A = this chain, B = another copy of it.
Amino acid sequence: MTGQLPPRDFDSLRAAIVEMRATLPKRLMQVASYALERPDDMAFGTTASIAQAAEVQPSTLVRFAQHFGFDGFSGLQQLFRERLKERNGSYEDRLRHLESGGTAETEGVAILNGFLAAGHDSLSTLANTIDADALERAITILARAQTIYLVARRRSFPIVTYMAYAFGKLKVPCRVVSTSIGNEDDLLAQATAADAAFAVSFSPYAAESAAQAQALSERGVAVVGLTDSALSPLAASTAVWFELVEADHAGFRSLSASMAFAMALTVGVAERRRQA
């Protein structure tokens, strides 16, 4: 490709990269990923700083640029700079475009916008209602635990699935109390007062989740709860619980705020354990 004309703008470059995806050598691919992932940094950085961030050699950046027909890295970087400038200039344009486009909105986009609006609402509500003390206590409880038991069903299940994934990455021992073998009770029987649990249950409440939270609580295992109402059966048997109401769109709720909360709790716990 070296002999050809270089892409004229950022979108062309993007297209060229996508097209060559299959044939691009390893390191050049690394640069390509970084370039598309963090275009702002590409615009401002130097070969040295970008190379370090992308974990390649500075010379690789030059080879990458030449691979796409540029003289050197500088020519490539110009594309990223112009992109930033243009984004700025046409900012109002884009807003207007969104507004006008809003009239000819397809049904799919209308639904998506509904969920996006609901997501914003949920996140804002959570920001305003969060109890800082409760959050600290919850982090303390979970950070102290030997093993964290994660209890959830149905709609709440994805939340603990994600937490389990993140905890795993962070080397925090946890177990999802799940049911494909049907040995949940055996699993829970292993929990001791040195452990802790995190239980999630949204309306309509799954009876098992509440029952398991209660069982754990009675055996001296501290339970942190996440639910959507003070009347939730979960609230009764938790040491700390949080109320989180996801805004709904047309009767359906997404998990936008719950996921943000779950990640905050997960990272908070890992951070606390790291400090200790």
Binding site for B on A (CB under 8 A): 14, 17-18, 21-22, 29, 32-33, 36-37, 40, 43-44, 81, 84-85, 87-88, 91, 94, 98, 101, 105-109, 111-116, 118-120, 123, 126-128, 130, 132-133, 135-136, 138-139, 154-155, 157-159, 161-162, 165-166, 180, 203, 229-231, 235-236, 245, 249-250, 252-257, 259-268, 271-272
Q: Which residues of B contact A264 (CB under 8 A)?
A: 108, 111-112, 114-116
Residues B17 and A231 in contact, CB atoms below 8 Å apart? yes
Q: Which residues of B contact A116 (CB under 8 A)?
A: 123, 126-127, 257, 260, 264
Residues A136 and B108 in contact, CB atoms below 8 Å apart? yes
Q: Which residues of B contact A111 (CB under 8 A)?
A: 264, 267-268, 271
Copies in the complex: 2
Residues A119 and B235 in contact, CB atoms below 8 Å apart? no
Residues A162 and B155 in contact, CB atoms below 8 Å apart? yes
Residues A44 and B81 in contact, CB atoms below 8 Å apart? yes
Interface of A, secondary structure class, is helix
Q: Which residues of B contact A263 (CB under 8 A)?
A: 115, 249, 252-254
Q: Which residues of B contact A180 (CB under 8 A)?
A: 180
Residues A106 and B256 in contact, CB atoms below 8 Å apart? no
Residues B40 and A139 in contact, CB atoms below 8 Å apart? no
**Bound state CA distance, A180 and B176, in angstroms?**
14
Residues A157 and B166 in contact, CB atoms below 8 Å apart? no
Residues B267 and A36 in contact, CB atoms below 8 Å apart? no
Q: Which residues of B contact A257 (CB under 8 A)?
A: 116, 119, 256
- A84's closest neighbor in chain B, by CB? B84
**How far, in Å, is A36 (CB) from chain B's closest CB?**
6
**Bound state CA distance, A14 and B231, in angstroms?**
10
Contact of A108 among B126, B132, B254 (CB under 8 A): B132
The 5 closest A-B pairs by CB, nearest first: A158-B158, A112-B264, A108-B135, A254-B263, A256-B256
